[in-house]
Amino acid sequence: MGERKVWFITGTSSGLGRALAEEVLAKGDKVVATARKPEVLPDLVEKYPDTAFAAKLDVTNRENVKDSINEAIEKFGRIDVLVNNAGYGLVGAVEEPGDEQIRQIFETNVFGVLNVLRGALPVLRRQKSGHIINISSRLGFAAFPSYGYYSATKFALHGLSESLAQEVAPLGIKVTIAEPGGIRTKFNDKGVVQPENLLPEDYPSTAAFNNYLSEGDGKQFSDPHKIAKVLIEVVESENPPLHLPLGEDAYPKIEEQFDKIMKEISLWREKGSNTGYQSAIV
């Protein structure tokens, strides 16, 4: 058995983050399990006293991020795998959520990821090694009506991750964007915020999307523990993917979106390409 890796995972109080922490610890690696309320994590530390460490982390608080990373280094000496998993959803057509609701989801899902990334990258650079896994979604490729703000945060995460991967590859650091479909967790129930200003007559898509969430709750395709095992396998692989769809329901949605885009751009390619300056007539 090789040296145990140290995983730093955000959002481990429940769902995929919790499942991943459990699978990593069962495998024998070490985990810094973070949550806004670390008091929900004592059973992990009790079961794995030598390899599990619970840290308080609010990803929107940069000082808290810095402190938790320092605690991880003090405890285990390094960070080998950084998993940005913390995040939530916001239902509503573009007009419906309040200003603070919109800002807050970006604070958590985008700037929170940035806070953790920018806090951990100096550690990974000094090590000249590491693997960053950013948990995105199939909705980072194709948006649903009345769930655009969540998709927008995941679209941002895709662009950021693709750039980051090219920047850090020469430093020995790998990046993977996990793009799951539905995962059978409590996310649909507890991880989704409703908009402040419903306009049901104009935007019936909001009610339709809420029905989709409620009807699908408990029937999502993917088992979070199976997804966790795939993520572990990716970290252990020689050539991990940058893009990693997860779940049988993720692949068709992503492929359908690519096909749709290719058809659309081909229709307007001639006109869209013909935008250059004409040669000067002498």
Q: List, by residue number, the catalytic residues.
A: 136, 150, 154
CA distances from 195 to 93, 98, 102, 140, 143 (A): 8, 7, 9, 20, 17
Strand partners, 9: 33, 83
Around Cβ 61, how many Cβ atoms within 10 Å? 15
Distances (CA, A) of 119 to 68, 180, 205, 267: 10, 26, 39, 45
In 3-state terms, what secondary structure has residue 266? Answer: helix
Per DSSP, the residues of 15-33 read HHHHHHHHHHHHHT-EEEE
Length of the chain: 282
